[in-house]
């Protein structure tokens, strides 16, 4: 192994990178109004003073790059530093000819409970966002350039909301038996903005995806495997080791053949690109709705929200 490196420079979050023609101030205002409505599910709210996250990458023998989300004290919620770190790690994977496969994982008890909305809004308000760095590949695969090399993901504990969408964006998925999944934005007056409405439906089938996205219910690792979302389940603590083993098997294949196989398969799914690119306008509309405001009030008042479809 070579030494790990820190790729935690704070820049862009998963939503704003799509705001090509939108006003950053307007988007920030929409987020600010919906911050409580989008509070991520988990054991506890992200600490207000949680330090910035970081993404740690490490090159392994055989052309494998491990990519670790390191913000366990906030259940690995995505702040701008994590999103830009992921994007730069994916760019490194694609553009370093010695690298063949990536392995994504989260440190601590949870893979990720999704977006840290207050940190994201602060990034917008400070003018850090959006970023136009050329060495960035969108980790949710919503805009070009798209990742070209295979990615294996290893998850444990909470894998929810944006964390689940990042999981869905990988090519192969390994889960610890204690993994708990959720795509519950509708119960928070929000909308899945990281690709779940496309990839969850594609991989699990319409009714399976609707069963969980429309009810907001959680599901476990065995149910994820039944739906085809998880390829392997292992004991807690073994998920990263197994993901690396799979990555090394892929890396041992002919590089041109591996990339051509993935590219051909993606070409067959190219109609998804337009659907993914259309997510942001709907996401912004929902954020500014009366229901999103009601979700905020209900959270502040400790009650169940009453949604009216406005």
Q: Which residue has the higher pLDDT, 86 or 276?
A: 86
What pLDDT does 84 receive? 92
Residue 287 has pLDDT above 80, yes or no: no
What pLDDT does 47 receive? 52
pLDDT in tens, 23-69: 344 444 444 444 433 443 334 455 556 889 999 999 999 999 999 99
pLDDT in tens, 213-238: 999 999 999 999 999 999 999 999 99
What pLDDT does 131 receive? 62
What pLDDT does 11 receive? 34
Q: Which residue has the higher pLDDT, 41 or 292?
A: 292
pLDDT in tens, 226-271: 999 999 999 999 999 999 999 999 999 999 999 999 999 988 887 7
What's the rounded mean pLDDT across residues 126-134?
Answer: 74
What pLDDT does 49 receive? 60
Instruction: Sketch out the chain's domains with CATH numbers.
Output: 5-237+254-301 (3.90.226.10)
pLDDT in tens, 141-172: 988 899 999 999 999 999 999 999 999 999 99
What pLDDT does 130 receive? 65
What pLDDT does 123 receive? 76
pLDDT in tens, 91-120: 999 999 999 999 999 999 999 999 998 888
Residue 195 has pLDDT above 80, yes or no: yes
End-to-end Cα distance, the chain: 54
Which range (36-45, 187-196, 225-234, 297-306) has the least confidence?
36-45
What pLDDT does 201 receive? 97
């Amino acid at each position: 192994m070579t030494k790990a490196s820190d790729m935690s420079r704070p820049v862009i979050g998963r939503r704003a990178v799509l705001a090509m023609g939108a006003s950053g101030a307007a988007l920030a205002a929409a987020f600010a109004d919906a911050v409580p409505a989008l509070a991520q599910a988990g054991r506890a709210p992200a600490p207000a003073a949680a330090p910035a996250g970081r993404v740690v990458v490490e090159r392994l023998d055989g052309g494998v790059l491990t990519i670790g989300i390191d913000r366990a004290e906030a259940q690995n919620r995505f702040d701008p530093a994590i999103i830009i770190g992921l994007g730069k790690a994916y760019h490194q994977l694609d553009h370093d000819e010695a690298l063949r496969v990536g392995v994504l994982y989260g440190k601590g008890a949870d893979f990720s409970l999704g977006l840290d909305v207050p940190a994201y809004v602060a990034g917008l308000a400070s003018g850090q966002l959006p970023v136009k760095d050329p060495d960035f590949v969108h980790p949710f695969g919503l805009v070009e350039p798209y990742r070209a090399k295979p990615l294996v993901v290893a998850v444990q504990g909470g894998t929810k909301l944006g964390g689940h969408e990042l999981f869905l964006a990988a090519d192969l998925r390994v889960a610890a038996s204690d993994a708990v999944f959720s795509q519950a934005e509708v119960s928070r007056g929000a909308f899945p903005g990281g690709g779940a409405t496309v990839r969850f439906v594609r991989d699990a089938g319409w009714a399976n995806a609707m069963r969980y996205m429309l009810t907001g219910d959680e599901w476990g690792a065995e149910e994820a495997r039944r739906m085809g979302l998880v390829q392997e389940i292992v004991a807690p603590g073994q998920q990263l080791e197994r993901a690396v083993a799979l990555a090394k098997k892929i890396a041992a294949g002919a590089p041109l053949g591996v990339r051509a196989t993935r590219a051909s398969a993606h070409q067959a799914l190219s109609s998804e690109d337009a659907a993914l690119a259309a997510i942001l306008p709907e996401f912004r509309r929902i954020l500014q709705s009366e229901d999103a405001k009601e979700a905020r009030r209900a959270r502040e008042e400790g009650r169940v929200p009453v949604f009216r479809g406005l």
